[in-house]
């Protein structure tokens, strides 16, 4: 399931443009390092080539994600439903712990897990919570065993 919000799509497009702009700079670094001579022992050359490989891999990853992405249509979504981009409070029925969560297509890393936990739509937890309503209790099979969670509220 590769569902993303319009904002996530815009962020991916911007990130892709930045990575493509880096191509020229990396290529210039490789050319300059090549001019230094012996490539076997040229650390600058090898570092630039490695950076080029990582940059190209990230470009392919983003292009693939954009090619298969489905934009979430949030029109008509009830205010009490967990949907992509929704922030909500979740109660772990076993421990009694509450946490603030956000359902995302892919983790952004923008938040500290202590303040907001990002749950991806592709994870077992995300799949269990997707399109569920406030008050629903969902059972999720996690690596540490089966757990029940209650959706307490949607936070806008």
Q: What is the pLDDT of residue 76?
A: 77
Query: What is the architecture, at CATH level 2, of domain 3-71?
Result: Orthogonal Bundle (1.10)
Q: What is the pTM of this model?
A: 0.63
Model confidence at 1: pLDDT above 60 = no
Q: What is the pLDDT of residue 35?
A: 82
Spans of all domains in the chain:
3-71, 87-155
* Range with lowest mean pLDDT among 41-50, 58-67, 89-98: 41-50
Q: Does domain 87-155 have CATH number 3.10.50.30?
A: yes
Q: What is the pLDDT of residue 113?
A: 67
Using one digit for the tens of pLDDT, what is the confidence trace for 127-156? 999 999 999 999 999 888 899 999 999 996
* Residue 72 and residue 83 in contact, taking contact as beta carbons nearer than 8 Å: yes
């Amino acid at each position: 399931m590769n569902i993303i919000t319009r904002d996530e799509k815009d962020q991916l497009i911007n990130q892709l443009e930045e990575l493509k702009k880096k191509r020229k700079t990396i290529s210039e670094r490789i050319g300059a390092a090549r001019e230094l001579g012996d490539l076997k022992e040229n650390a600058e050359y090898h570092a630039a080539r490695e950076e080029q490989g990582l940059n190209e891999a990230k470009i392919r990853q983003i292009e693939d994600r954009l090619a298969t992405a489905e934009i979430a249509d949030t029109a008509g979504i009830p205010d009490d439903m967990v949907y992509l981009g929704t922030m909500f409070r979740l109660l772990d029925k076993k421990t009694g712990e509450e946490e603030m969560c956000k359902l995302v297509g892919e983790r952004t890393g923008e938040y500290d897990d202590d303040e907001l936990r990002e749950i991806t739509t592709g994870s077992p937890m995300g799949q269990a919570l997707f399109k569920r309503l406030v008050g629903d209790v969902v059972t999720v099979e996690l690596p540490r065993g089966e757990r029940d969670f209650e959706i307490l509220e949607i936070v806008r």
